[in-house]
Amino acid sequence: MLKTNKKNKQNYQMLLFKQDTGLSIKYDEDDNTFQFQKLPVCDDIAPFYQYAYVCINDVILFFGGNDNGLSKSVHKYSIRENKWMTFQNTLPSPFCDCVAILSEEDNDIYIIGGVNDKDIEASTHMKTKVRAWDPSQLVMICLFTLMNTNKLCYIQLINK
């Protein structure tokens, strides 16, 4: 949800993505009006739902998801350019039903919870730096703790 304040007007914009549907919804508080605009959806992410996402400035990052199976993919939508990108690198394991949180203090993204590819709820915690989401370089540090085991697995992926 984005809030703009131009010439004493209160305007809000919300972006909605679900499977193959993308919408930009603008609300003008002064006129009490809505405007809708259809947005493109990347073919790679179109079948997915139940993904985690985080908005950073004019970019939305999408993690994982579910169609008839779980996804390890990561997608980026540029609001300003109205363009999609699918990262070549993937997450260490497929998942859905998780949440992504942006920590602006230390520029980290935390991906928490979810369901794994065995349809088991997992206590999962992944952490990555915001600056790492450059298409030419993906650096992800992940820490996984599964609820059904006492095992702790630390994975560090570096791909240049």
Give the pLDDT band of residue 136 (cuts 50, 70, 90): very low
Given pLDDT bands bounded at 50, 70 and 90, which one contains residue 93?
confident
Of 146, 147, 107, residue with least CA distance to 127: 107
Q: State pTM to two decimals.
A: 0.74
34: in domain: no
Is residue 21 a part of any domain in this protein?
A: no
Q: Is residue 22 part of a domain?
A: no
The verdict on residue 17 lying in a domain is: no
More confident position, 36 or 3: 36
pLDDT above 80: residue 78 = yes
Question: Within a domain: residue 155?
Answer: no
Pairwise CA distance, residues 144 & 126, whole Å? 7
pLDDT at 38: 96
Confidence of residue 47 (pLDDT cuts 50, 70, 90): very high
**Is residue 79 situated within a structural domain?**
yes
Domain span at 69: 40-150
Would the pLDDT of 69 be above 90?
Answer: no
Reply yes or no on whether the pLDDT at 151 is more than 50.
Answer: no
Q: Could you tell me if residue 26 is inside a domain?
A: no
Q: Using 50, 70 and 90 to split pLDDT, how confident is the model at 135?
A: very low
Give me the chain's average pLDDT, please. 77
Residue 77 maps to which CATH number? 2.120.10.80
Domain total in the chain: 1
Half-sphere exposure of 141 (CA within 13 A, CB side): 7
Residue 131 falls inside a structural domain: yes
Instruction: Inform me whether the pLDDT recorded for 41 exceeds 90.
Output: yes
